[in-house]
Amino acid sequence: MRKFVIFLTLLVSLTSCEYFISPGIQVEPKLYMVAIGVGYERHGTINELKFTKNDLEDLTGQIRNLVDGKMEYEILRFSDCSDNEDEAFVLKREASQHNGIETLKYGKEDFCNPYAFFDTLAEAFTTMPEKDDIIIFYYAGHGDEETGNLVYYYDSLSKDYQTISQRELFDSFLSRWQARRLVILDSCFSGNFIEEGDLASTLFYSGKDSELTFNLSSSLSSSFTSLSLGNKAKPDVFVISGSGYVQSTYENVAGIEHGIFTYALLKYLDYDEEMDEASFTTKFEGRTISVKDLYDGIIKNFPFKEFYRISTPNTTPSKLDMTVFDFR
């Protein structure tokens, strides 16, 4: 992600996996969420991001309020490392079965490579995701310019940093469970995490908001069709990225103290922008929220549509839509 202090904008994206429930069996899905927001404070060689912590806290807060009382949840938050040895490697865990937020402290060895980091995250869950549960992996931070890899860890003293690749995330972390899986990436070059296709190569700004929305919707209409069609070619992980393969994302645009992708997602989820806090919304009562709903919601709430051509939301091509939340 890059800073854009004066003017305009960013992008965004979102996704997840499938939802199959056997007839006659009552299933109570649970939400598992890993949320990472890295600002690279005090690193020196990596550009600092000012509002990834806002993205992290506000999105997890809004999703928590959205599901509270409707389904069980566990949310893990990881933000910047610290020079303070007592606070250097910390996960914040919030779960529906516990009051408040727990602070889990670790050593450098638990974070300093992606495989150790994945083990740490998995072990921090108090229960393990099952087939009908939903896992959401959210990241706000820098993406590597060559690969799109997520720059999740850095050492502010040695200036070293570690990244997570698409294959590492999919094969070494998300593949541990047979749950529905959704990845949301607010980072530059994050289109590299989408296995098939790049919307940035086919979309361009038409000059009119209505035409732009229509072009986006029509280009994706064949990707989201009913599960009843029986299409077997389902992706293992759905991704919505904030950018194409070679595009950047932006924060701090026109006074918006979020990444623009996350800002659009927050608006769709009914975040209280006036009070600048998570809301207990009734917007989705009696409804489901699917991958297509989330993607469409981001597009409709994207504040600077003329910048789609340089920062294009992408999503996994699939004939299957997936239910992320069911509030019926």
**Residue 326, in any domain of the structure:** no
Q: How many domains does the chain have?
A: 1
**Residue 325, in any domain of the structure:** no
**Residue 221, in any domain of the structure:** yes
**Residue 117, in any domain of the structure:** yes
**Residue 327, in any domain of the structure:** no
Chain centroid to CA 231: 26
CATH of the domain at 242: 3.40.50.1460
Q: Are 240 and 184 in contact (CB under 8 A)?
A: yes
**Residue 120, in any domain of the structure:** yes
**Residue 225, in any domain of the structure:** yes
Q: Are 303 and 254 in contact (CB under 8 A)?
A: yes
Backbone angles phi, psi at 256, to 5 degrees: -80, 115
**Residue 328, in any domain of the structure:** no
Q: Which domain holds residue 134?
A: 2-320
Rounded CA separation 176/78 (Å): 20
Predicted TM-score of the model (pTM): 0.82
Rounded CA separation 80/38 (Å): 5
Return per-residue pLDDT of the chain as tens, 328 residues.
765 443 333 333 333 333 443 444 556 899 999 999 998 876 667 888 999 999 999 999 999 999 999 999 999 999 876 555 556 689 999 999 888 899 999 888 898 899 999 999 999 999 999 999 999 999 999 999 999 999 998 876 777 788 999 999 999 999 999 999 999 999 999 999 987 644 444 333 333 443 444 344 434 433 343 333 333 345 778 999 998 889 999 898 888 899 999 999 999 999 988 777 888 889 999 999 999 899 899 988 988 777 777 888 888 888 888 999 999 9
